[in-house]
Structure 1
Amino acid sequence: MRKLLQGPLSLIYVIQVYIAMAVLGFGFTPWALVSKRGALVACKLYARYAIWTARWMLGLKVEVRGAVPRGEVLVAAKHQSFFDILIIFGALPHAKFIMKRELMWTPFIGLYAKRLGCIPVNRGKRGGAIAKMVKDVAAEFAEPGQLVIYPQGTRVAPGDRKPYKVGPAILYEGTGYPCVPVATNVGLFWPRKGIMRYPGVGVVEFLDPIQPGVERHQFMDQLEQVIEGRSDMLMVEAKAHYGVR
């Protein structure tokens, strides 16, 4: 019976979670416009609501593993679906994301991203985009926070392989901050496409930080190995427990 209901429940969940985004986005706009704290509170509330409703509507639970960084760090995360964004944002005290510039024009998302200190990047102009990203990051790190970047630059379905881009290394060198790799298996339960959502435990795991001073090529090799290796292990674990494909 649960399997028969999973499709309709997934559709209901998707609809209500986007309605909640609009309601919270509109309701908190006055506070967000005058205070960055208003934007942070609204986004934290939305992340917790989406995670909470996924648990009781879909049977999709969340587990955060490892030491969650609290200070100023670079967070390089595996990105499989929208849900891992919510889990990471909910776990970190003050996350700021490197994000596509087009999203800054999205209703509510653009306003709140700007107020949180997220850094928009024009992916079509690589050299100029990287230079501007480094400059913008330096300005935003005047305020405390954890800067989240997705090394592959996009969502990647479980089992797929896409190359790691140089952005994390440039930020790692430019900021001088430790880099915390993050692995996940969330894409098994919340695919990057479609409305189906599946029961299980979506894990986001913060791994041991890479301390400043590692040479660029070595840093990139280490980053990819630890993120991909641990993500693969989390997915094997999930498949064994929940039978997901």
Structure 2
Amino acid sequence: MTNPGPFQYIRSVLFTVVVFAGMAVYGIAFFPAAIFSRRAARYACRSYANFACWLARWMVGIRTEVRGMPPSGEVLIAAKHQSFLDIIMIFASLPAAKFIMKKELIWAPFIGQYTLRIGCVPVDRGKRGKAIAKMLADVDAGSAEPGQLVIYPQGTRVAPGVPERYKTGAAALYAQTGYPCVPVATNCGLFWPRNGILRRPGLAVVEFLPEIPQGLRQKDFLARLEREVETASDKLMAEAGFHAPDRH
């Protein structure tokens, strides 16, 4: 990947200011409706996600592409997480995404209350099972809308090429929910990294991979999930000119 010129740094700073200012504008504008309507809250979040993708293309040259078939039914989605960009691309692609997220995020300005309104599940580290059990009970009782439950099996954003083990939470959810799992690969961290201001132009891709059906042992499921997501993500990054270090 080529080194950016000084103008790209300036564009990146301006983009960062505008994209997060836009979050505040969307959050305030839709808040009265979002209080009373889950549909309005979801519409606000999807509108912002589409705005952010449009702005990334226009201001810093990041084009976005979704590959594969985003699911519409109740499934578990286990996604590679490199960037804030892959969050908004996944959300914009799904009819009813609900994320497993750190509890601390509910206190984030504008983001926190919207995540609760659209059905995301805030979890304490070490208390994930209790939170998931409550979510499933809420769905069964009809107090929460069904949808696509999104988890990041590595537990955090991971920079391209950096190894990070897949945690057992995804396997536990796979067994507990009874949902099939749709793995998701990405290369978004090459263009919108987890740290820093610089945004690099290029084609950011989120790819929905073939479904993993129910019936696997948790250990076998986790091994298959890691193999499929990492292999597909490495291919996407190689397509963009980045080659991950050999994992063996």
Q: What's the TM-score bracket when you normalise by the shorter of the two chains?
A: over 0.9
**Deviation for aligned residue 1:165:** 0.7
For residues 206 and 138 of structure 2, the distance between their equivalents in structure 1, rounded to whole angstroms, comes to: 29
Deviations 1:4-39 (A, max 9, x none): 310000000000011110011011000000000110
> Which SS does the other structure have where 1:163 is aligned?
coil
1:136 maps to a residue whose letter is M
TM-score by length of 2: 0.92
Match among 207, 214, 222 for residue 212 of structure 1: 214
Following superposition of structure 1 onto structure 2, how do residues 46-65 of structure 1 map, counting pairs within 5 Å?
46-65=48-67
For residues 238 and 140 of structure 1, the distance between their equivalents in structure 2, rounded to whole angstroms, comes to: 40
1:134 maps to a residue whose letter is A
1:117 equivalent in structure 2: 119
1:76–1:179 contact (8 Å) kept in structure 2: yes
Q: Count matched residues.
A: 237
Following superposition of structure 1 onto structure 2, how do residues 120-159 of structure 1 map, counting pairs within 5 Å?
120-123=122-125, 126=126, 128-140=127-139, 142=142, 143-159=145-161
For residues 3 and 146 of structure 1, the distance between their equivalents in structure 2, rounded to whole angstroms, comes to: 40
Following superposition of structure 1 onto structure 2, how do residues 97-108 of structure 1 map, counting pairs within 5 Å?
97-108=99-110
**Deviation for aligned residue 1:132:** 2.6
For residues 57 and 107 of structure 1, the distance between their equivalents in structure 2, rounded to whole angstroms, comes to: 24
The Cα RMSD (Å) is 1.4
Query: CA 1:114/1:140 → structure 2, altered by over 3 Å: closer, same or farther?
Result: farther
Q: Detail structure 1 runs of 4+ shifted over 4 Å in the superposition.
A: none
1:243 equivalent in structure 2: none
Query: CA 1:138/1:149 → structure 2, altered by over 3 Å: closer, same or farther?
Result: farther
Match among 93, 96, 100 for residue 91 of structure 1: 93
For residues 140 and 17 of structure 1, the distance between their equivalents in structure 2, rounded to whole angstroms, comes to: 33
Query: CA 1:132/1:84 → structure 2, altered by over 3 Å: closer, same or farther?
Result: same
For residues 207 and 19 of structure 1, the distance between their equivalents in structure 2, rounded to whole angstroms, comes to: 33
**Deviation for aligned residue 1:138:** 4.1
For residues 73 and 13 of structure 1, the distance between their equivalents in structure 2, rounded to whole angstroms, comes to: 34
- Matching of residue 199 in structure 1 with residue 201 in structure 2: yes
1:25 equivalent in structure 2: 27
Following superposition of structure 1 onto structure 2, how do residues 158-237 of structure 1 map, counting pairs within 5 Å?
158-237=160-239
Structure 2, unmatched stretches of 5+, are: 243-248
Deviations 1:48-91 (A, max 9, x none): 00000100111100010001101110000000010100100011
1:70–1:146 contact (8 Å) kept in structure 2: yes
Overall identity of the aligned pairs, in %: 55
1:138–1:175 contact (8 Å) kept in structure 2: no
**Deviation for aligned residue 1:133:** 2.2
2:245 equivalent in structure 1: none
TM-score by length of 1: 0.93
1:185–1:202 contact (8 Å) kept in structure 2: yes
1:61–1:202 contact (8 Å) kept in structure 2: yes
For residues 61 and 113 of structure 1, the distance between their equivalents in structure 2, rounded to whole angstroms, comes to: 26
For residues 81 and 163 of structure 1, the distance between their equivalents in structure 2, rounded to whole angstroms, comes to: 17
For residues 232 and 106 of structure 1, the distance between their equivalents in structure 2, rounded to whole angstroms, comes to: 32
For residues 40 and 140 of structure 1, the distance between their equivalents in structure 2, rounded to whole angstroms, comes to: 17
2:26–2:48 contact (8 Å) kept in structure 1: yes
1:208 maps to a residue whose letter is P
**Deviation for aligned residue 1:168:** 1.0
For residues 187 and 134 of structure 1, the distance between their equivalents in structure 2, rounded to whole angstroms, comes to: 32
For residues 214 and 25 of structure 1, the distance between their equivalents in structure 2, rounded to whole angstroms, comes to: 41
Query: CA 1:165/1:134 → structure 2, altered by over 3 Å: closer, same or farther?
Result: farther
For residues 189 and 181 of structure 1, the distance between their equivalents in structure 2, rounded to whole angstroms, comes to: 21
Structure 1, unmatched stretches of 5+, are: 241-245
